[in-house]
Amino acid sequence: MKCLKKYLLKLEKSKPVRTAADDADKKEILLNPILVKSFEVIKKELGEVIGKDDTTFGYTQITLGYENWKAEDILKAVLPANQEGAQSFSIVGHILHLNLREHLLPYKTLIGEVYLDKVPNISMVVNKVNTIDSTYRNFQMEILGGTGDTLVTVKENGCSFTMDFARVYWNPRLSTEHSRVVGKLQHGDVLYDVMAGVGPFAVPAGRKKCYVLANDLNPDSFDALVKNCTKNKVVERVKCFNMDGHDFIQTTLKADLIQRWKDPYFVGGVHITMNLPALAVTFLSSFQGLMSGVQEVSQDVELPVVHVYMFTKETADDVAIGQVAENLGYLSKPSEAAGGAVRATRSGATLLNMAPKAPGKEEIC
């Protein structure tokens, strides 16, 4: 009965409505004893049903086992008091990825076994054991449970991505941000993806019939990027590069952008994505004087929209704006961030605060 739905006893591997043990023609409805202390609690929900002779209310004992509890309930029961922090995880393909804090490391094997048992469609549980490598954006991991390889396939924004999760960077929590940026692109726009990874910006942009130059320094990411472009049938619109980001900006991006600006028939917009939060803001220095000495480009061209990501321990907008202004050469040191350089930079900037990555660390675009 729908009126009792909120009172049902909901447990893993257990059905709240079952055939009565003493009469195969009757049904038993198991109610949550925390919510229903007496029959009086649900009288108003049952209404006229109460008066029927075949409706009874009573108590019974049921035996619950390991299979009846969710992973978070089990971990809360078996870990020492106040040892929270094991409930947050990401799933990438068949891999469940944890980032356990130090106080939980003595229990890591137990935690891995519980998640392997309880979370459907996974065959491996891993834990990150160091920070993300700033050069190649990958991290060392240890297997807490399960077996197999780390080659995964995931779907996002209508595209399929295959990668070796142990050798590249992939964060499923960024899917909304990928959608937001790609949603700004129109047919015929140009996207320069300076730190493209395995293609979460580049591939769906290619699907929208944008022209994309996608670059990543990590050879494993580059290899996956090329294969993902082929898999998603965007090879004619996405060109892939395996270069340092500074070199990519100062050579490939510059040359292509000049050609776009010189083309009288080009009417699309230009976007640049730089998603390497630990370092991306420092790559803005490569734009300083990038077009100095270029004579054949009109002064009234539409400038690109740059999406640059960074980590900051401060939530004040001026801190992020100050980092941008400093790396664009508008000020010599962050302490000048309250001055006119920040006001000038802010006039052309929009800040978005991404989901917190860790206590005291925000990601800003």
Letter for the amino acid at 227? K
Separation between Cα atoms, residue 286 and residue 288, nearest integer Å = 5
Q: Is 117 labelled a binding residue?
A: no
Q: Are 9 and 31 contacting, i.e. CB atoms less than 8 angstroms apart? A: yes
Q: Is 256 labelled a binding residue?
A: no
Q: Is 178 labelled a binding residue?
A: yes
Q: Is 215 labelled a binding residue?
A: no
Taking 3-state DSSP, the helix, strand and coil percentages for the chain, each rounded to the nearest 5, stand at 35, 20, 45
Q: Are 284 and 327 contacting, i.e. CB atoms less than 8 angstroms apart? A: yes
Which residues are CB-contacts of 217 (< 8 A; sequence separation ≥ 6)? 135, 136, 195, 242, 243, 244, 245
Q: Are 87 and 72 contacting, i.e. CB atoms less than 8 angstroms apart? A: yes
Q: Is 206 labelled a binding residue?
A: no
Q: Are 201 and 190 contacting, i.e. CB atoms less than 8 angstroms apart? A: no
150-156's contacts with Cβ under 8 Å and 24+ in sequence apart are: 150/95, 150/124, 150/126, 152/92, 152/93, 152/94, 152/95, 153/93, 154/92, 154/93, 156/200, 156/204
Query: Strand 124-128 vs strand 17-20: parallel, antiparallel, or unpaired?
Result: unpaired
Separation between Cα atoms, residue 132 and residue 309, nearest integer Å = 15
Q: Is 275 labelled a binding residue?
A: yes
Q: HSE of 157 in the Cβ direction (CA atoms, 13 Å)?
A: 24
Q: Residue ranges for the binding site?
A: 178, 216-217, 244-245, 275
Q: Residue ranges for the binding site for S-adenosyl-L-methionine?
A: 178, 216-217, 244-245, 275
